[in-house]
Amino acid sequence: MLPMLLAKGGLMMWLLLLSSAVGITIFIERFLHYHRAQINSSEFLNGVRNVFKRGNVVEALSICEATPGPVARLVKTAIINRELSREEIRETLEESGLVEVPRLEEKLNVLATLAQIAPLMGFLGTVLGFIKIFYRLEQAGLYAHMGQLSEGIWEGLISTALGLAIAIPGYAGYNYLVSRVNEIVLDMEKASNEVLNLVHEKRDRP
């Protein structure tokens, strides 16, 4: 069945398969990236808090450096700038967050675009298939038969089906990755507030 579909799908089918491969690659890369980036922020902050309250700044920074992801980088930024005022540290964290969020969202627009244009590419394949049908009809005239027309019909149907088959999981994958980004951003916001309080609690303590 599959070899027959590959043989009858036409040029647009190969473009759709290429876009599908790109989309799958992006999804896997982003999924693994988010898996590494999303840590147990509560456990991480507890570890940093314990050593920082003992005045061991170097160990706190070492924990941050050994932990992957934007949450650890934000906490490290706050510790490094611990001598600044509360408002200055908050601004520094906000600036760091503005750098981290685009990194998380990187390539998601490509995945969304592929999901959006896949049905249009499939529709284009259908139109090209029907153009081929009418061309064959014009060439054969009254002597046209189903065998001459079936190639265009197959090409149109396969392109439409493949375009939809790419778009549906593409949209689902995009929305899933966006939800992962939102979870990480929420962890970043919580961590920023907690480390801000931690730094000033330690500094203000006599």
DSSP per residue, 182-195: HHHHHHHHHHHHHH
**Tokens read off for 67:** 């932990």
Inside any domain, residue 3 = no
Inside any domain, residue 20 = yes
Q: Report the alpha-carbon distance of residue 181 to residue 60 in Å, rounded.
A: 26
Rg of the Cα atoms in the chain = 27
Q: How many domains does the chain have?
A: 1
Question: Average pLDDT per run of 10 along the chain, which is 206 residues long?
Answer: 65 89 96 90 88 86 90 91 86 90 92 94 88 76 67 83 93 96 92 86 55
The per-residue pLDDT for 147 is: 67
This prediction has a pTM of 0.84
Residue span of the structural domain in which 125 resides: 9-204
Q: Report the alpha-carbon distance of residue 118 to residue 172 in Å, rounded.
A: 14
The per-residue pLDDT for 206 is: 47
